[in-house]
Amino acid sequence: MTHASATTLAPDLALLERLAHDAVVALPEPWRAAATHVQLRIEDFAPRDILDAMGIADPFELTGLYEGIPLTEKSVMDQPLGPDMIWLFRRPILDEWLDRGDVSLGEMVTHVLVHELAHHFGWSDEQIAAIDPWWE
């Protein structure tokens, strides 16, 4: 019987969190500083209540989610309901990464993170493409 080596184990939640933080640090200013105020939460899958609220039956269909009020819609009159948060879902991200086969895991995490940050910042497709060159 052989033992699995570190190179054959699936990337864990901690690795995805490190890759997400690296992606935030790599953002150009002024986005980098503002993105550090968005909380990151890494989970294997989206919680069932979130999937149900979005009408998603298959948890592999959701790689990330932005929860909060986009900066373009915030008002000083708004009472904060909680921190703006980006969820990244490990298992769907890994599946998409393996299906693509043409990008690194760091690039895949960055792609999902940038997509969710676009909701936070209210970016246009052109702004997203400037930060994430392989935006679809």
Per-residue pLDDT of the chain (136 residues; tens, 9 = 90+): 444 455 667 899 999 999 999 999 999 888 899 899 899 999 999 999 999 999 999 999 999 999 987 666 665 666 666 788 999 999 999 999 999 999 999 999 999 999 999 888 887 777 777 777 665 5
Rounded-to-integer distance, Cα 122 and Cα 9, Å: 37
**Single pTM value for the model:** 0.83
Q: What is the pLDDT of residue 74?
A: 62
Q: What is the pLDDT of residue 42?
A: 97
Q: What is the CATH number of domain 18-70+81-131?
A: 3.30.2010.20
- List the domain boundaries for the chain: 18-70+81-131
Pairing of strands 64-67, 85-89: antiparallel
Q: What is the pLDDT of residue 72?
A: 64
